Structure 1
């Protein structure tokens, strides 16, 4: 706790979170003030209370989303990083027990996360001076966010125990959380109309019901149901049961991690290279590796055993559930499709949403994977050996970039498979699907470049992944959370607002297929397609600049030239043949 609390990045994280919270509050207050005349002095007591309640709602959602996104990234590497750096053996030979190691690290990281949660407490207390914010609603929002942080921390530590690398641990925890907290929402509403009544379907519906009931997003949304009587829908007994259930599950996960940490590491260390041939590798179809020819780095990143992403049992099952849900729901909508034109149009809109959701997920996975490609070499003490090779910056960083894009083949295949449902209805969709796949490939190059840049300039995998994910999220659409309230409250025209969508990745992924069945017209078409072309051009230029900068930066680190030929190349004349 002493070493982690003094790191500057955690101070910067808390300061950044506080600034973002103040900015969101300012934007929400500015938008609310326009409804009541645009002046705080002209408001009545009731209007001031309603304005404060609207601002608090925006802050409460920001707080919960921040806890759900930041907590896994901060906690998932506390054991995996020790294993990756080979320092966990020093902890095992000390006088510390397994429980002291795991619980101590968990509590230390949880205190840092709760400090981040307490940043917003003074802001809320100041807002309560305006009235309209009941004390029970404030308590409920902090209990929901705090218990969510506790559960996510314990789950991240448990996943970290079974993960040999921090990069794999982050992929596993986000896939698992997505399968547990996101998938039950559409499945719970669609399953009664899909499955027939049976014992298994009833059990599945009951499980989905409990997952939805204990979902933090659903629980917080119920507290915000009444705007006129904010806080009237808060049932503190239910909130306390929610928090107690989360704390109980967290304790069980922490106990499981403490019991397994030594056994798991010793078992994996004793297996050596045989651990790569697990049951999932045996189930996968055997493939023949291509010969090592002109591109050794591409071969290493795409086909070598150490370059593979190890999802583990939990990650594999979570990914399988996500893919099965996407394909299954789309297939069910396709089977139940009628002949009416509005039904076809509605299905194509549903298909655009599913493909956009899948594309964003693929881009996030690519960002996380790319951010660990160079730091993994540093933490495994192979980075110096890589710098000492005669390979140029173009060959090394280009190979890592192409290897990361090779990992995206499954995401592209999933997007193409979902598009086949639309092609069977409207064959002309294939043209727009081709454009959409090209856009997805371009965005994949960009996020891979961002991840490689932070990986090249960072010392640890967790830091590189955190910075790369934050950058890709903010640039790819997260900026809208701050800009939309200002744009709504300002006098900016519709064309200016549409141009602001140019960097938004969901907009760029969805527009090609939307144009097939709901194409804009008139001045709106000029703005929409202009924003699309501007966004594609901007990402194309940014990707080219990132790739060029990566080549030059690698040579700068090694002390060479501009990323072309390596200074270690053997330029001496060849010996004459005997």
Structure 2
């Protein structure tokens, strides 16, 4: 029997279809314009800092260096945030819609399906990279920019995009839901970016046992090495052998550590990235059909391993009336929240990711809690508090930005949201049930930072600093939760909603601090004022208010103090109020537009009262004339 499959030249029909449909969407061009505007904004911020100075050769050199650093960090950071969100749902969304089975029954080969989807997502990323090169080259006419460094930065960023896209696509082949694929992609990316800082922490910890390198104190801020390759050289230490594997190190080394990285090294990074991307793509091709046919029609097996703590959850043998060992929401008060709390169990890969996150947080916080709880014992250092709070809050909010938007968008894709909207439940209970179901993750990730803040407050007899720190973490989580639910309500496509939610997290965590730092580098009152603006960044605001208490307990022999503590506390209270107001505004927008965007009729109190009379008095009374709710399909037919 002759095979139905035949060889085709070119990218294949899958790429042609994906690119044809994608090129007709306005979001593609809007994203490209937005990417260019962000790059121009970063360049403008650098120019504003040098606008009033005399442009001699030294100042022009500093201007070129600042332009390059701002451009490289902005471009590489956006690529790391956007590419997993764009690619992780490539296969999972086809699984959810059932169209992947149709593709596998055609004469298309597995390679055409995988490489077609991969190329369709790499081409827009390549266009984004080509957007910023002419702008930076024009700025190079002022001097201070090395063309080889610019080309090397583009090569490293392109290699990073290849690895992110191929890795996210491979995870999408094995994952069952886009939610799990996206979380797995960001977890793998985070582990890759933390590889070099983790090695540096281990190295400096060993040096601290010997008194530190070159007589320097052992409490140096090690995470600074992530963005400053020259920090090792300033300590008299050679570059780490892990450094060529880190994209940020390879991009910033031409200016931060001249002579350690050349254009050939950056092109070698691109070649190795292309090789790794090809290997992951081949793994995806070989496993696509086997994995999907194995998952098709087979429900996810329940496992007793790696279960999350039963925070108020009822065991199956307890039924609806049983109680967990911690209080949980009531079924009568809000059935949607009860279902989110008890029945939406995460998959095994998601449980693995959460357990790794919990274990890492416990390892980071355990020495801090021990030092803060024992009187008279000095804290390890200020930077360890920043590392622990920064990692826990930032990575936890990243997971929250994913889960808050997928909680409702997955139900829209499955059609179960239509069933929920056809019930007599009011819209407010549906929205608040989804909101609290996603926001409970914030309460979980804020547990360890709150414990350290409370212990430091008790030790130093302070109340305002711990309260504002905990409030900032909770309010920032409320903003991301409210925005994720709003995007899932307004945007039908799940990948687009998740991508915008993650982009909002990136803007809050990295875009805002980068803009503030670029505009505020220098000395004087301007820098002190801009430092207060940095409190809105989760990785900075989660520990900045506690730093004076850490220094009081550990650095009293050095005589270090903060002279702007009152100003920082005032700004912390201002940010707390603004975050709360913004979160409330987003929830109000969700409630006001939920029925209109999802095709549900507004609740009529007259119908609700007449339906109650029918239930209480019997079938003789007339039924209400008209439905109280309509699913989107019924609303369209009407």
Same fold (TM over 0.5): yes
If the length of structure 2 is used for normalisation, what is the TM-score? 0.76
Q: Label 1:210 to 1:4 Cα distance change in 2 as closer, same or farther (>3 A).
A: farther
The match for 1:371 among 396, 402, 405 is 405
Distance 1:438 1:490, change over 3 A: closer
Q: How far apart, CA to CA, are the structure 2 residues paired with 1:74 and 1:553?
A: 26
Alpha-carbon distance, 1:253 to partner: 0.7
CA distance in 2, matches of 1:536, 1:298: 26
Q: What CA deviation, in whole Å up to 9, does each residue of 1:293-329 have, x standing for no partner?
A: 332101111111xx334361xx555554444344334
- How far the C-alpha of 1:413 sits from its partner, in A, is 3.7
Name 1:203's counterpart in structure 2: none
Q: 2:44 pairs with 10, 26, 51, which one?
A: 26
- The residue correspondences of 1:441-456 to structure 2 (distance < 5 A) are 441-456=474-489
State whether residues 364 and 388 of structure 2, in contact with CA within 8 Å, keep that contact through their aligned partners in structure 1: no
CA contact 1:367–1:448 (8 Å) conserved in 2: yes
| C-alpha spacing 1:567/1:346, structure 2 compared with 1 (3 Å) | farther
Q: Distance in 1 between matches of 2:518 and 2:307?
A: 52
Match of 2:393 in 1: 359
The CA distance in 2 between the partners of 1:133 and 1:431, in whole Å, is 47
User: Aligned partners of 1:83, 1:564: CA distance in 2, in Å?
Assistant: 38
- Judge conservation of contact 1:136–1:234 (CA < 8 Å) in 2: no
User: In the alignment, what sits opposite 1:297?
Assistant: 336
1:277 shift after superposition: 1.3
**2:381 aligns to what SS in structure 1?**
helix
Following superposition, the deviation at residue 444 of structure 1 comes to 2.3
Give the SS at the match of 2:256. Answer: coil
For structure 1, which segment, 540-549 or 250-259, has the greater mean C-alpha deviation from structure 2 after superposition?
Answer: 540-549
Partner of 1:214: 245
Which of 86, 92, 113 matches 1:101? 113
Displacement after TM superposition at 1:472 (Å)? 3.9
* CA RMSD between the two structures: 3.7
Equivalent in the alignment of 1:261: 288
C-alpha distance 398-564 of structure 1, shift in aligned 2 (>3 A): farther
Q: 1:309 to 1:47 in 2, by over 3 A?
A: same
Higher helix share: 1
Which residues in structure 2 correspond to 1:28-427 (within 5 Å)?
Answer: 28-34=46-52, 36-37=53-54, 40=55, 43-44=56-57, 47-190=59-202, 193=205, 211-225=242-256, 232-272=259-299, 275-278=300-303, 280=305, 288-289=314-315, 291=321, 292-304=331-343, 307-310=344-347, 312=349, 317=352, 319-331=354-366, 344-345=378-379, 347=381, 350-416=384-450, 426=459
Given the two structures, how large is their TM-score scaled by the length of structure 1?
0.83
Indicate how the Cα distance of structure 1 residues 485 and 329 shifts in structure 2: closer, same or farther if over 3 A, else same.
closer
How far has the Cα of 1:142 moved from its partner?
1.3
For these two proteins, the number of residue pairs brought into alignment is: 547
Indicate the SS of the match to 2:425: coil
Q: Which residue of 1 aligns with 2:586?
A: 546
Q: Distance in 1 between matches of 2:295 and 2:606?
A: 38
Q: Is the 1:393–1:552 contact (alpha carbons within 8 Å) kept by the matching residues of 2?
A: no
Secondary structure of the residue that 1:96 maps to in structure 2? Answer: coil
Structure 2's unaligned 5+ residue stretches are 1-18, 208-238, 322-330, 553-559, 620-638
